[in-house]
Amino acid sequence: MTFDQSAKRASVNTVSACASQPNSTSIRLSMLAGVSALVIAMSMGSHSVYAAEAEMEADFAAEDIEEISVTATRGPSDIFSFPGSVSVVSRDEIESRITASISEIFAQTPGIQFTGGPRRTGEIPALRGVSGEGVLVLFDGVRQNFLSGHDGRFFIEPDLLRAAEVVRGPGSALYGSSALGGVIAFETVNASDLLEEDAQFGFRLKAGFQGLNDEWMTGATLFGTTESGKTGGLANFTFRDSSDINVARGDNLQGDDEIASGMVKVNSQITDALSVDASWLRFNNNALEPNNGQGISTGDLVRKDIESETWRARVNYNPESNLVDLGIIGYMNNSRVDEAELDTPREISRQVDTVGFVIDNRSTFSLGGDSSVIFTYGAEYYKDEQIGLDNTTADGTRGGVPDATSETFGAFIQADIGIDTEVGTFRIIPAIRYDDFDNSSDQNPDLSAGDNATSPKIGVSYAPTDWLLFYGNYSEAFRAPSFNEIFADNLHFTIPLGPFVQAPNFFVPNLDLRPESAQAFEFGAGLTFENVAFDGDQLVIKGSYFENDVRNLIDLEVNVEFSPSCFAPVPGVCTSGTSRNVNTARAQLDGIEIEAQYSSDYLFLSAAYSTIDGRDKDTGDFVGVLVPNRLQLVTEVKMPEQDFRIGARAEIAGQFDKINDPAEARPSYEVIDTYMVWQPSEGSLKGWRFDVGMNNIFNANAVRTFAGVPGPNRNLRATVSWTSSF
């Protein structure tokens, strides 16, 4: 289910919220100054998303605001001129935030929300109001298709990441189903990211602590290359151990976690044109928490065991030819969640196994002068198999988690056209993809459902000067119904009618489910300047307005109808009706996103502002994962001579009133974090890095999920790492 604000489904698609603890007047005045600065920036250019800080290891000189994405066009692409909304978070940014969960990586990124509360297993992403199966998640190009209402989606250690990207807006033209709201993509580190120049082998040791949940983290990484430098590898192991989570109001949340994760990567440049690499990624989380990890309940605890393993191999062939830049990725992903109830003998599990491959090629043609076109084309196949188990049912199957298989084949083509004229530079990117998908029930071969979809998109940007940009795009996208939605069966819930009478309600399959579909457009503008106040500094502003019209929304329909046997001694079985997934309403989602960044040798500033609204076009009710208007600010002072940086981050959210039930209303909030980074570039401490920070220093109760779930408490964090190469 992609959209729903009902209390019944709030655990899956919760609305990021707000509540606050009053802070001092001086702090509020500082925040108002930041808002005023952003308003001035908005008057200079409309809105989108931009974010790609240059990666800084020990280099504290002026950092360029990089403009490269590898996800937006399935190849290296300039972000600023891209006619859409893309954000890239660098490895240095991830480290300086001392991230312990994926949601913290995107804390300063507009247009992305995480529902579910402070627990890792509750983190469900939403892009521009779309969540669940409508958001595609990639690890090194590998689809992460496991999705469960209360078990999270990000089975990866943040310390393994070299970059994180968010492409907001429908992405089905290149990525097919699940990209209705956009794409979240992660790249893991390589040996070359850690090796010093002219070194062959090295290691990295890291340890950290955060007070929010008394979490300790330890990690070790070994990396190296052959003498020729053509073959390299990396191996990592990281362990985290945490206890209950402190929240700003109320009792602590039960959230004991033991997380062990690891990665092994190897790569080889076989010839000048041919390279191969392979990786193994494993994540294991043993948690003690409620079955619904997104709530605040401390009862009905379960021992939850999450295991995820991804095998991946890639071949790249890039000879001295403009026609061939061929990439092939093959992968296998296995994810499983086992839950054992502490107060009963019940044990349940969900396992999803995915196998697939992606093949694409890029061909470049000159159009004369500085104009050219890059064609990207290819195909994708993936297959998901799910098994649900419950030791309390007669046949061992789990209600709502059918044993089922899904297969998808897609083919796509895109042209990235750059035209340089006397009146400015144009970039035109048309793309189209065809997908064919089939779902079948493993328990009942007679049950099957299939469909197909075509997803076109076109984006155009125009730069009349080298500092000004206008752009717009139109796209169509879809989200195929999942096998959970099509084949849902067995028990949903029971209604007690007396001490000896229980009336069960059962899931029933719906083979006529149609895909959710969307028609979206976006337009915006951007500004980029160099040498604004000092030599070598840079200012980038990009913003947009978007609108997404989503149809055939899939929602759960519950029909409560008691059979006569529940009330009279007549033949038959007492039941309370059925539940099934159906296509329901139409929704319109729209909003504004703005991002601005300034960087110089001694100062880094960023501001991001976002709004979103969602309405059922038939009833006028609010729909989607909606959040209050938000402003995110970062100020960082750099002292390159001392290899030192200090900064502060602020998140300011307005009152949340986009609700259908007054009980869901939440007041505004302001959250301020501070951080400090010291990374000596010479002397006996060269190779060491020290990060210290305090999140939510004024202990504001920032409720970002739904009413009644308090936000995290004040949180002291620190990490220290030692990297050495020889």
Distance CA 217, CA 240 (A): 4
Q: Which of 479, 514, 503, 486 has its CA nearest to residue 400?
A: 486
As a whole number of angstroms, the distance between CA 120 and CA 217 comes to: 15
pLDDT at 21: 36
3-class secondary structure, 668: coil
| Cα torsion 626, 627, 630, 633: sign | negative
Q: What is the pLDDT of residue 17?
A: 33
Query: Per the structure block, which two tokens stand in for 457?
Result: 């998109």
Task: Identify the band that residue 295 occupies on the pLDDT scale cut at 50, 70 and 90.
Answer: low
The answer, yes or no, to whether residue 9 has pLDDT greater than 50, is no
Q: What is the mean pLDDT of residues 288-302?
A: 74
267-271 long-range Cβ contacts below 8 angstroms, 24+ apart: 267/190, 267/191, 267/231, 267/232, 267/233, 268/230, 268/231, 268/232, 269/230, 269/231, 270/230
The SS3 assignment for 112 reads strand
Percent of the chain with pLDDT over 70: 89
- Give the C-alpha separation, 38 to 47, whole Å: 11
| pLDDT beyond 90 at 348 | yes
What pLDDT sits at residue 389? Answer: 94
Q: Give one DSSP letter per residue of 31-73, joined into a string.
A: HHHHHHHHHHHHHH--B----BBPP-SS--SPPPB--EESSSS
Tell me which of 52-61, 234-243, 451-460, 645-654 is least confident. Answer: 52-61
Q: How confident is the model at residue 149 (pLDDT cuts 50, 70, 90)?
A: low
Separation between Cα atoms, residue 303 and residue 254, nearest integer Å = 12
CA 318 to chain centre: 30
pLDDT value at 370 more than 70: yes
Q: Is the pLDDT of residue 592 over 70?
A: yes
pLDDT confidence band for 7 (50 / 70 / 90): very low
Q: Which DSSP string do the residues of 170-193 spell out, in sequence order?
A: --HHHH-TT-SSEEEEEEE--HHH
Q: What percent of the chain has a predicted confidence (pLDDT) above 90? A: 70
Tens-digit pLDDT profile for residues 410-430: 999 999 999 999 999 999 999
- Element spanning 400, H or E: none
Which of left, alpha, beta for 464 (phi over 0: left; psi -120 to 50: alpha)? alpha
pLDDT (tens digit per residue) in 611-669: 999 999 989 999 988 999 999 999 999 999 999 999 999 999 999 999 898 888 888 99
Interval 98-113 mean pLDDT: 91
Q: What's the rounded Cα separation, in Å, for the pair 135 and 479? A: 9
Rg (CA), the chain: 25
Rounded Cα–Cα distance for residues 607 and 649 (Å): 10
CA distance 156 to 113: 18
b/e burial code for range 81-100 (CB count within 10 A of at least 16 → b)? bbbbbbbbbbbbbbbbbbbb
Contacts of 445 (CB under 8 A, 6+ apart): none
Give dist(CA 38, CA 594) in Å, integer: 9
Measured CA to CA, the distance from residue 523 to residue 519 in angstroms comes to: 14
With cut-offs at 50, 70 and 90, classify the pLDDT of residue 114.
confident
Q: How far apart are CA 668 and CA 624, in angstroms?
A: 20
* Average pLDDT over every residue of 549-559: 92
E strand segments, 318-421: 326-341, 347-368, 371-390, 404-421
Is the Cβ–Cβ distance between 666 and 19 less than 8 Å?
Answer: yes
Band (pLDDT 50/70/90 cuts) for residue 19 is very low
Structure tokens at 26: 């001086």
Q: What is the mean pLDDT of the chain?
A: 87
Strand order in the sheet with 577-583: 491-496, 502-507, 577-583, 554-560
pLDDT at 296 (0 to 100): 66
Instruction: Please give the average per-residue pLDDT across 323-338, as a whole number.
Output: 97
39 pLDDT tier (thresholds 50, 70, 90)? very low
SS3 (DSSP) at 122: helix
**How far is it, in rounded angstroms, from Cα 126 to Cα 116?**
11
425 versus 115: the higher-pLDDT residue is: 425
